[in-house]
């Protein structure tokens, strides 16, 4: 808009100069036209950069200066095309810089330049000038709104691109966290069992080679399970994961832990029912992490896993051992395994709690809807 008005202003000035060649005293109208055009060219871009309250007052001053100057030019040079175009430039600038009611007043004031004519000429020329001024104001307002709509659309598109980038980053972070949980809860558990069995084999290698070989064979089996867990984690990136029923998976898990050296039992309370996949995954991983911690930290002689199907629409899984309990300072809140379990439980709409129990030992309790 600014560039278009600048071109129109220069064309109007050129027209005034050409029309002044027929005037016996051309210097005065040309000087007035140059002054008017220069002020118009310099004022519009400067005023457009001003903050709104200040811009209104400065623009009002600009109009109050230009309008009398335009009327004087009209009186000196006569009702020419160039002078009319310069006044229409002022109308466009008023629409761009002033509130709409103030711009309407400037538009209505343009025909007043014909007041010195007879009533017939004033009516004829004034109506023509008013029509041209109204047309200019309407077109300028439409262009102004279209320009504002383009700016708002560009801003909205920029916000949408920002939202899309945030959503992509969030999805990437969630996928990384999911993979981290799968690796820690699955592969970490199997490698812990392998570590325990290898330590046991080394302890009896010299005194009982046969038993050491048996323990190493079990460690090899666990290593194979760890490899299978890695393959399952990778497969989830390509297709939905298929898992055995929760009770079957927990029975295999407790048997595996019992073979590794800590006798573990499973108790199922209540009527079993089908659970959402995310709830089952959270319960299984909680049992897996709980039993892994029993083997690594608890110093326990036994562990019990209890799966309770409540009548209140919840399912609870507890892992309890008879070990040394939590340290005096409580559990480390930065422990990645428990953080991962909390995230899983939260995603399933549940909660997780870990605490020492009376008489010694630790209990991990997770509850999810289902």
Predicted confidence (pLDDT) per residue in 131-150, tens digit: 888 888 898 888 888 888 98
Does residue 58 lie in a domain region? yes
Does residue 164 lie in a domain region? no
How many domains does the chain contain in total?
2
Domain range holding 335? 244-370
Does residue 49 lie in a domain region? yes
Query: How many Cα atoms within 13 Å fall on the side-chain side of residue 82?
Result: 24
* Domain boundary pick from 76, 99, 116: 116
| Residue 113, C-beta contacts closer than 8 angstroms, at least 6 positions apart | 70, 71, 74, 75, 79, 87, 129
Contact indicator for 331, 355 with CB cutoff of 8 Å: no
Paired residues of 122 in beta bridges: none
Does residue 166 lie in a domain region? no
Place of tokens 């990778």: 234
The region, left, alpha or beta by phi > 0 then psi within -120 to 50, assigned to residue 359 is left
Q: What is the predicted pLDDT for the residue at 319?
A: 92
Does residue 172 lie in a domain region? no
Contact indicator for 347, 311 with CB cutoff of 8 Å: no
Does residue 92 lie in a domain region? yes
* Mean pLDDT, all residues of the chain: 80
Contact indicator for 364, 319 with CB cutoff of 8 Å: yes
330-358 pLDDT per residue, tens: 554 445 667 778 888 888 889 998 888 87
| Residue 275, C-beta contacts closer than 8 angstroms, at least 6 positions apart | 246, 283, 315, 368, 370
Angstrom distance (rounded) from CA 255 to CA 235: 25
Q: What is the predicted pLDDT for the residue at 291?
A: 87
Encoding tokens for residue 330? 């409580």
Encoding tokens for residue 33? 């036209």
Burial of 282 (C-beta count, 10 Å sphere; 0-12/13-18/19+): buried
Q: What is the predicted pLDDT for the residue at 333?
A: 44
pTM across the whole model: 0.43
Angstrom distance (rounded) from CA 234 to CA 229: 9
Q: What is the CATH number of the domain that holds 314?
A: 3.30.565.10
Does residue 225 lie in a domain region? no
Burial of 333 (C-beta count, 10 Å sphere; 0-12/13-18/19+): exposed
- Give the residues of the chain that fall short of pLDDT 70: 116, 122, 175, 177-193, 195, 197, 204-206, 215, 220, 222, 224-243, 328-337
* Domain boundary pick from 73, 92, 116: 116
CA angle, 88 then 81 then 128, to 5° = 65
**Closest listed residue to residue 194, CA positions, set 213, 219, 160, 158:** 219
> Dihedral sign, CA of 293, 296, 300, 301?
positive
Encoding tokens for residue 304? 């019990």
Does residue 202 lie in a domain region? no
* Domain boundary pick from 94, 116, 138: 116
Contact indicator for 48, 97 with CB cutoff of 8 Å: yes
> Dihedral sign, CA of 50, 53, 57, 60?
positive
- Which alpha helices (H) appear in the chain, and where do they start and end? 2-20, 27-48, 52-77, 81-97, 100-109, 119-182, 188-204, 209-235, 246-260, 277-293, 336-347
């Amino acid at each position: 808009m600014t560039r278009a008005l600048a071109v129109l202003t220069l064309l109007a000035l050129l027209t005034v100069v050409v029309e002044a060649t027929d005037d016996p005293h051309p210097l005065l109208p040309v000087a007035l036209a140059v002054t008017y055009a220069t002020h118009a060219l310099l004022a519009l871009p400067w005023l457009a950069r001003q903050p709104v309250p200040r811009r209104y007052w400065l623009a009002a001053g600009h109009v109050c200066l230009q309008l009398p100057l335009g009327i004087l030019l009209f009186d000196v040079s006569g009702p020419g095309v160039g002078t009319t175009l310069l006044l229409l430039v002022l109308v466009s600038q008023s629409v761009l810089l002033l509130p709409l009611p103030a711009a309407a007043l400037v538009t209505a004031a343009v025909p007043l330049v014909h007041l010195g004519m007879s009533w017939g000429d004033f009516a004829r020329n004034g109506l023509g000038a008013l029509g041209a001024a109204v047309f200019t104001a309407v077109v300028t307002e439409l262009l102004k709104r279209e320009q504002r709509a383009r700016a708002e659309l560009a801003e909205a598109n920029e916000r949408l691109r920002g939202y899309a980038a945030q959503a992509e980053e969030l999805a990437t972070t969630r996928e990384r966290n999911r993979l981290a949980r799968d690796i820690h809860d699955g592969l970490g558990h199997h490698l812990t069992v392998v570590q325990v069995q290898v330590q046991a084999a080394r302890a009896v290698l010299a005194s009982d080679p046969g038993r050491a070989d048996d323990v190493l064979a079990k460690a090899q089996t666990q290593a194979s399970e760890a490899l299978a867990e890695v393959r399952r984690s990778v497969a989830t990136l390509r297709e939905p994961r298929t898992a055995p029923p929760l009770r079957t998976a927990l029975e295999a898990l407790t048997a595996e832990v019992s073979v590794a050296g800590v006798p573990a039992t499973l108790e199922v309370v209540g009527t079993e029912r089908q659970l959402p996949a995310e709830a089952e995954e959270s319960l299984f991983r909680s049992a897996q992490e709980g039993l892994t911690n029993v083997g690594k930290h608890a110093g326990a002689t036994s562990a019990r896993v209890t799966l309770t199907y409540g009548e209140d629409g919840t399912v609870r899984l507890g892992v309890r051992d008879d070990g040394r309990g939590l340290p005096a300072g409580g559990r480390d809140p930065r422990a990645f395994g428990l953080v991962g379990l909390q995230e899983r439980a939260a995603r399933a709409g549940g909660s997780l709690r870990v605490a020492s129990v009376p008489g010694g030992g630790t209990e991990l309790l997770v509850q999810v809807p289902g």
